[in-house]
Homo-oligomer: A and B are copies of this chain.
Amino acid sequence: MSDSKSNTGRPRRKNMRAAEREKLIVEEAVRFFAESGFEGQTRELAKRMGISHAVIYRHFDSKDALIERVYDHVYLKRWNPEWEQLILDRDRPLQERLTQFYVAYADRVFDYDWVRIFVSSGLKSYGLTERYLGIIRTKIIEPAALELRESRGGPEALPPSDTPPADEIELFWGLHGAVFYIAIRKYVYNIPLEINVEATVRATVANFFEGALHGTRQANMQAF
């Protein structure tokens, strides 16, 4: 019933509605370009779907148009706007907020397709990664830097400004890099990670706030 082949055993062609076919193509293209890079041929993509590659050009004007759709599907749909509020929630310590954000972020974004397509498009410099990292900067990094400044308080607190100094911003880019590098090792460099990603993210954030000199095992335990 849910089998796409008829009972003759020979795979019978089945015409799909345009919307459904497009969706299938985009989804397969995501995985395909993640594996092969954007040089991957439309013919091979089509073969994986059991269709002629001309079908792709019926539904998409060009290969670039398909890649554009792949971007949409991979990037934009994974950003959770609630994260922007989370960082600013002063009812909870900043460390707790960042821990929750990075755990959720890793859960959403750390997968084969997303990471590889993101890095690939960075190398091709379509300008898309810049735009995406702009979101990270303005919605997470800069607010977090301001929040740290606020939470520290004390005599050294400077008058609040809209953009924190570059070195404090860099501090949080360092945290971001420490976390994201987990995904890079796994999906770009193909290093087999036997670790628990969530636990590692928690430990990374904890260490960011407390420092290695204070001991890691305790930090791991009391994280969050």
Contact = CB atoms under 8 A, between A and B. Distances in A.
Contacts of A125: 190
Contacts of A156: 215, 217
Given A156-B215, A212-B209, A213-B209, A181 B189 contact: no
Contact of A188 (B119, B207, B210): B119
- Chain A contact residues, majority secondary structure: helix
A171 B212 contact: yes
Interface string A147-160: 01000100010000
A215 to B, nearest CB: 7
B166 A215 contact: no
Interface in A23-47: 37, 39
A173 interface: yes
A129 interface: yes
A190 B129 contact: yes
A74 to B, nearest CB: 15
A99 interface: no
A125 B116 CA distance: 12
A211 to B, nearest CB: 3
A201 B12 CA distance: 60
Interface in A162-220: 166-168, 170-171, 173-182, 184-185, 188-191, 194-195, 199-200, 203-204, 207-217, 220
Given A122-B189, A174-B207, 9 more contacts: A37-B124, A116-B123, A129-B189, A166-B194, A167-B195, A207-B211, A209-B211, A211-B212, A211-B213
